[in-house]
A and B are shown apart, each in its own frame.
Chain A
Amino acid sequence: MSQLGLTLDDLSSEEFEKVVKRCEARVKSLRYPPELYDLDIDSDLLSFILAVAVIKVSQREDAISRFALNEAGRAEAFLKTENKKTITYIIRQVLKVPVYETEYTIGNSFYEYMIDVKKYVLLSSLLKSDYWRIVNRIVNGGLVYLKRSEIIRLARDGIRYEIYRRIRESTTPVIPQQLQYLVDIIKNRPLPRVTFEETRITEYPPCATHAISRAQANENLAHFERFFLTSFLLKIGKSVDDVIKFFSNSPDFNEKIAKYQVEHIAGLRGGRKIYNVPDCKTLFSQSLCFKNEICDNISHPLQYGRRLIKNGEKNFDRKRRFSKKDF
């Protein structure tokens, strides 16, 4: 805006009516009406900036996520229409990721781009499917090979995160009185209705069952397996003494050492850090995953067997994870 010599106050004048209208469509996550389609680039950018400011002022976490998702979707749609060089340029500029062009065919897959493997792992970390893991990618010379559709999909997630991060980290602006209604549109939007779930573990996941059965059969558990079982049992509410009993039949059981280690994991000793239960991905890598069909929908052993035990819904803003002073 400063490059155009404008401030947010200027946008409340009639001259910027279309900008404001487009901003309204943006914050309402609506398609643009036909009269707004032919807006020039500057006006489009101004409507984006105004929408960012309005969302920031609204102090609604859910609005930031929704806005970032919508805008990333729009960016993805644009990227799909661009040529190879432009896609490379945009990803380099926006995501600060070194992207290289290539042409490589294997089977019926045609790869057009390469990304640094470390950056790739970072960008794909939110994508849960095995498809995106580097073990199922072409990796050569420290670069991951990607098809056109794949790099655009990655870019969408990267853009979404970048928009979200930048709005969260920006300072809260002052919206002119005439445009305050845009803020109210968001503020008056009902909070997401989240099912109030009081849950409890009704069934152990197969990974825990396997470790428990091994411990009960007096087998010597590997170090990581012990750590997993201990952290799991503690997390589901077992006491330190209960957990120690689980290991008491191990051939190399030493109560003093076991007590020290269990208390350490429980955060009662040393750095007082309460250790988390390893997630499914980590257990899989450690060959401790024995998934069944229920596991397909979970990414953490503690999600297994959770059952809704109290029905009913509450207007419960679980999305607002940070306080007002963050804005």
Chain B
Amino acid sequence: MVKKILTEKDVFLKKIFKKYYYNNVTKIAAPARLLEREIGYLTFSPERMIRNLHLKNEGELRALILHESPKAIYYSSAYYDDPSAPINSRVWKGADLVFDIDLDHLPMVEGFMETFFICNDCRNFFSSANGKNCPNCGSQKVEEIKIATKKGLEHCKQEIVKLSNVLIKDFGLSKDNFNIYFSGKRGYHLTVENSLYENADQTFRLELSDYLTLNGFRLGRITDVRSSSEQQAYLFPTPWEKSIPGRFSKEFCESILHLPTNNLDEDFFRKTILEYLSKIAYKDLSIVLESVKQNLSIKIDVAVTTDIHRIFRMPDTLHGGTGLIKKKIGNIDSFSPLIDAVVLSEEQTKVHVFFAPKFELKEQQFGPYNNQEVTLPEMAAVFLVAMNLAEPLEED
């Protein structure tokens, strides 16, 4: 018999998080150089951020997680002489280079994310926020909900692969320098540790971010659209050049000329370029080059990379907004976030779902649901409750 008493959402989540950590805390490894990092965590209701903690070892970290069962636990990418000191009085010694690729920062493509709106006053769900007001009650307390799809996360993965290739080729990093993680929600983190870039300041990180996003890249570096086609074809970078010009040329060949670049003969390449350039008006060419630039740019979150004091979710810990874990990735090709980062149980749990589109976890399909009671595996119930799409029902 189910008694229709809605439990506090946070009580429900905290109970499940506690259970998970109790059984799995030994799987949580402390980040390297824990002593030099600031630790912080977010509590369940009342939601409070505790920062400036300093933990001595993995044991202390695990004890903290078991004791608090936090909604989220974070560590700084920066290294300090005394991480527990107030931010203005601690000495910054360096910071990992961190890149965040999130579906939010990628161009919106249909099928990458399920996006809809919830009115926090009347609980009405709707697909577009016309005028930012709830169409049912007129309230302005409208919240946008975004659920990453398998397709969207796969696309993010391709961006991470692009990023790691550039870091290796252009910035001399080796794969041993960096770790890739699924963030637990809508994207991936790439963290570079123990590299020559550890002590790089904000100016450098800004320059690096612009290099990756191609912000400020002059298309004149590729070709002068106002010069003759012959001259342009003669000077156009080949796909095997170094750095951005080479990658640009490769992308241009493959996406615009549909010309495979493996074993491409230079004479044939220049002849094809000449043919193409002779037929296109320079204004149209500028538009084409701009589109190639957009394809080539790596959509990192610049604010993340340039912030040298930022804190990040600890690997192997649960994301308070999904119930998935931040998962370190061994083999990016075979990694599947909606399988590998799902760690909560399949124990049957009853919830009242206000609204949920079709979604997938651990190769199981769920939804769509609309204002109905359903019994779901714990992993799916937590996923919906954490996202404010459902409320737990207490079993009698």
On A, residues with C-beta under 8 Å from B are: 104, 106-108, 117-118, 121-122, 125, 130-131, 133-143, 145, 218, 223-224, 251, 271, 273, 281-282, 284-287
Contacts and interface: CB of A to CB of B under 8 A. Distances in A.
B204 A121 contact: yes
Contact of A281 (B206, B218, B221, B244): B206
Contacts of A135: 207, 210-211, 214-217, 244
Given A136-B218, A286-B302, A142 B241 contact: no
Interface in B202-247: 203-204, 206-211, 213-218, 221, 235-237, 241-245
B211 A139 contact: yes
A322 to B, nearest CB: 24
A251 B243 CA distance: 43
Nearest to A125: B203
A167 B244 CA distance: 40
Contacts of B302: 285-287
A141 B215 contact: no
A143 B250 CA distance: 21
B243 A138 contact: yes
Name the 10 nearest CB pairs between A and B, nearest first. A142-B172, A271-B88, A107-B235, A140-B242, A141-B172, A138-B243, A139-B170, A135-B211, A135-B217, A121-B204
A199 to B, nearest CB: 27
Nearest to B303: A224
Contacts of B173: 142
17 contacts: A106-B245, A118-B200, A121-B207, A122-B204, A133-B210, A135-B244, A138-B245, A140-B243, A141-B169, A142-B196, A143-B172, A145-B242, A223-B303, A271-B86, A282-B206, A286-B302, A287-B302
Contacts of A273: 88
B35 to A, nearest CB: 23
Contacts of A104: 242
A285 B196 contact: no
Given A121-B204, A273-B88, A140 B169 contact: yes
Nearest to B244: A135
B196 A284 contact: no
Given A136-B216, A287-B302, 11 more contacts: A106-B241, A118-B204, A135-B244, A138-B242, A138-B243, A141-B170, A142-B171, A218-B132, A282-B306, A285-B210, A286-B303
A141 B171 CA distance: 5
Interface residues of B, number: 41
A106 B237 contact: yes
Interface in B161-211: 169-173, 196-197, 200, 203-204, 206-211
A134 B242 contact: no
A251 B140 contact: yes
A286 B216 CA distance: 12
Contacts of B241: 106
Contacts of A134: 207-208, 210-211
A146 B92 CA distance: 32
B142 interface: yes
A108 B232 CA distance: 11
B209 A285 contact: yes
B171 A139 contact: yes
A218 B210 CA distance: 30
Nearest to B204: A121
Q: Please report whether the interface of chain A is mostly helix, strand, loop or mixed according to DSSP.
A: mixed
Contacts of A284: 210, 215-216
Contacts of B142: 251
Contact of A136 (B169, B170, B196, B221): B221
B339 interface: no
Nearest to B169: A140
B211 A285 contact: no
Contacts of B211: 134-135, 139
B237 A130 contact: no
A224 B302 CA distance: 10
B56 interface: no
B218 A130 contact: yes
B243 A137 contact: yes
Most buried by A among B204, B217, B236, B306: B204
Contact of B170 (A122, A140, A224, A286): A140
Contacts of B210: 133-135, 284-285
A121 B203 contact: yes
Nearest to A217: B132
A223 B302 CA distance: 12
B87 interface: yes
A107 B235 CA distance: 4
A117 B244 CA distance: 15
A131 B220 CA distance: 11
Contacts of A118: 196-197, 200, 204
A133 B200 CA distance: 16
Contacts of A140: 169-170, 242-243
B4 interface: no
B26 to A, nearest CB: 36
B200 to A, nearest CB: 6
A135 B243 CA distance: 9
B119 to A, nearest CB: 11
B91 to A, nearest CB: 15
A135 to B, nearest CB: 5
